[in-house]
């Protein structure tokens, strides 16, 4: 008897379950493991013995699960200690794995999950354990090193660009329009906000200004840019990453808290902060701010089919690599060609991913620091291609996950 286990960790994405389904298919094709278990709620749940058998799922259930957003096996924010600080949880985990005849462990996640894979892979080698540990990338933030991009990002970018097009039109209907601010996720990196450059009408970018954490935010320059643009076209569309900072590297929302410009107001995110900044500057009082929030990471109804397929292929490849005896790695995506778009899958040592961050390239930001170059657009475009065919029930998407009260 030889089994494997797959689990999910960290923040959800729209396509994270597709990686699980890709791995299930690889196991069917290669006939490698007797059972593929799903560990519920990541390492945290596995340590509690929360395992389900995914091999018994029907084809229909698998298809629904593939098109279900958000970690359908549940997730956790659990970071394993260093081995020298406590071997107990390592021992407990390996006991559970051994008791279930598990020969390979797959973890779908971001930096922290790859930290777990690196630690467990190292421990297995040191203790002579025959269990392979393999990471499958996942994050809407697109901030993992070495991989061209991460599954989950393309769908988030597509949702952001699509809703920018739509809200731009919504904010353009009156003779006297105002200023619209869209706030995206991305506390440390600007990939999500930068994907706004995809939104174009008549070949012109819809966003007049795009602000990322990677370039210092200058309040005076911002207000002067917005003022001038508002005079020119009587409306302005601004996209801003939640994590923009000033030249000292301080989050602009933190600067506001220190200076308390708006008198004890709980302003929420940076979009709302910029809104008050504009109103107070006297440019116009007609300012709206919209925070896309968690929709960015779960709106599979607006997912990219390329992204969904790549999540699947990354899961499929992970099982192939484990079959080849590899352990302690994360599957990465290499862009072999941009046009026609073509990728392949390769391995990166998991410890090189863990605790590292891939920032948005500042050479793809214009010199004014408020928009992007053609290179950025070329990078993003193929990632948002195609619409998945969701399975419907009563005209709405039919979803299946294993960790919510309605599942029982």
Residues making up the annotated binding site for diphosphate are 11
Question: Is 39 in contact with 50 (CB distance < 8 Å)?
Answer: yes
Q: Which residues pair with 179 in a beta bridge?
A: 236, 287
Under DSSP, the state recorded for 40 is T
State whether the Cα torsion 116-119-122-124 is positive or negative: negative
Residue 29 designated active-site: no
Q: Which residue in the block uniquely carries the two structure tokens 């590899």?
A: 326
Q: Which is nearer to a copy of itself, 48 or 366 (CB)?
A: 48
Helix (H) or strand (E) holding 289: strand 287-291
Residue 290 CB, nearest distance to a copy of itself (Å)?
A: 5
Q: Which residue in the block uniquely carries the two structure tokens 């993003």?
A: 380
Residues whose CB is less than 8 angstroms from the CB of residue 103 and which lie 6 or more positions away in sequence, other chains included: 2, 3, 4, 33, 130, 131, 132
Extract the annotated binding site for Mg(2+): 111
Under DSSP, the state recorded for 51 is E
Extract the annotated binding site: 11, 111, 139-141, 185-187, 242
Q: Which is nearer to a copy of itself, 362 or 407 (CB)?
A: 407
Question: Is 156 in contact with 198 (CB distance < 8 Å)?
Answer: no
Q: Is 325 helix (H, G, I), strand (E, B) or coil?
A: coil
Q: Which is nearer to a copy of itself, 104 or 196 (CB)?
A: 196
Residue 15 CB, nearest distance to a copy of itself (Å)?
A: 12
Residue 141 CB, nearest distance to a copy of itself (Å)?
A: 15
Question: Is 349 in contact with 125 (CB distance < 8 Å)?
Answer: no
Residues whose CB is less than 8 angstroms from the CB of residue 367 and which lie 6 or more positions away in sequence, other chains included: none
**Rounded CA gap, 399 and 81, in Å?**
35
Residue 159 CB, nearest distance to a copy of itself (Å)?
A: 9
**Rounded CA gap, 67 and 58, in Å?**
15
**Rounded CA gap, 21 and 247, in Å?**
45
The residue from 115, 141, 208, 225 that is catalytic is 141
Q: What are the angstrom distances between the C-alpha of 99 and each of 2, 86, 104, 306? A: 11, 21, 13, 38
Task: Tell whether omega for the bond before 340 is within 30 degrees of 0, i.e. cis.
Answer: yes
**Rounded CA gap, 136 and 232, in Å?**
48
Q: Which is nearer to a copy of itself, 219 or 234 (CB)?
A: 234
Residue 317 CB, nearest distance to a copy of itself (Å)?
A: 24
Q: Which is nearer to a copy of itself, 34 or 170 (CB)?
A: 170
Q: Which residues pair with 8 in a beta bridge?
A: 108
Q: Which is nearer to a copy of itself, 333 or 383 (CB)?
A: 383
Q: Which is nearer to a copy of itself, 202 or 258 (CB)?
A: 202
Residues in the chain: 408
Residue 138 CB, nearest distance to a copy of itself (Å)?
A: 12
**Rounded CA gap, 81 and 277, in Å?**
43
Nearest to 286 by CA among 393, 117, 168, 171: 171
| DSSP3 helix / strand / coil % (the chain, rounded to 5) | 40, 20, 40
Residue 167 CB, nearest distance to a copy of itself (Å)?
A: 6
Extract the annotated binding site for substrate: 139-141, 185-187, 242
- Catalytic site positions: 141
């Amino acid at each position: 008897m030889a089994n494997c286990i797959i689990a999910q960790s960290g923040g959800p994405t729209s396509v994270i379950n597709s990686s699980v389904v890709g791995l299930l298919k690889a196991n069917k094709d290669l006939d490698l493991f007797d059972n593929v278990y799903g560990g519920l709620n990541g390492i945290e749940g596995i340590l509690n013995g929360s395992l389900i058998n995914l091999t018994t799922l029907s084809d229909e259930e698998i298809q629904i699960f593939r098109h279900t957003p958000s970690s359908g096996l549940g997730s956790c924010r659990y970071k394993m200690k260093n081995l020298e600080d406590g071997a107990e949880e390592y021992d407990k985990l390996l006991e559970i794995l051994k008791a279930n005849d598990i020969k390979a462990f797959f973890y779908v996640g971001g930096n922290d999950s790859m930290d777990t894979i690196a630690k467990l892979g190292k421990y297995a080698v040191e203790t002579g354990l025959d269990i392979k540990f393999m990471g499958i990338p996942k994050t809407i933030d697109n901030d993992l090193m070495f991989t061209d991009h991460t599954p989950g990002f393309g769908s988030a970018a597509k949702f952001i660009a699509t809703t920018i097009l739509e809200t731009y039109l919504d904010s353009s209907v009156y003779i006297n329009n105002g200023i619209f601010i869209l706030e995206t996720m991305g506390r440390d990196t600007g990939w999500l906000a930068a994907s706004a450059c995809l939104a174009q009408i008549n070949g012109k970018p819809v966003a007049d200004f795009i602000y990322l954490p990677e370039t210092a935010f200058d309040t005076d320059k911002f207000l002067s840019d917005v003022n001038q643009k508002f005079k020119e076209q009587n409306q302005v569309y601004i996209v801003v990453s939640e994590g923009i900072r000033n030249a000292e590297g301080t989050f602009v929302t933190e600067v506001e808290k220190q200076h308390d410009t708006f008198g004890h107001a709980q302003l929420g995110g940076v979009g709302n902060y910029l809104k008050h900044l504009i109103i107070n500057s006297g440019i116009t009082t007609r300012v709206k701010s919209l925070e896309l929030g968690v929709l960015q990471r779960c709106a599979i109804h607006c997912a990219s089919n390329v992204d969904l397929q790549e999540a699947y292929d990354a899961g499929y490849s992970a099982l192939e690599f484990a079959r080849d005896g590899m352990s302690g790695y994360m599957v990465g995506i290499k862009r072999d060609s941009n046009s026609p778009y073509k990728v392949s899958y390769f391995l990166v040592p998991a410890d090189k991913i863990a605790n590292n961050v891939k920032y948005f390239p500042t050479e793809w930001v214009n010199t004014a620091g408020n928009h992007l170059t053609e290179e950025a657009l070329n990078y993003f475009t193929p990632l948002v291609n195609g619409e998945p065919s969701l399975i419907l029930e009563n005209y709405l998407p039919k979803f299946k996950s294993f960790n919510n009260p309605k599942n029982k």
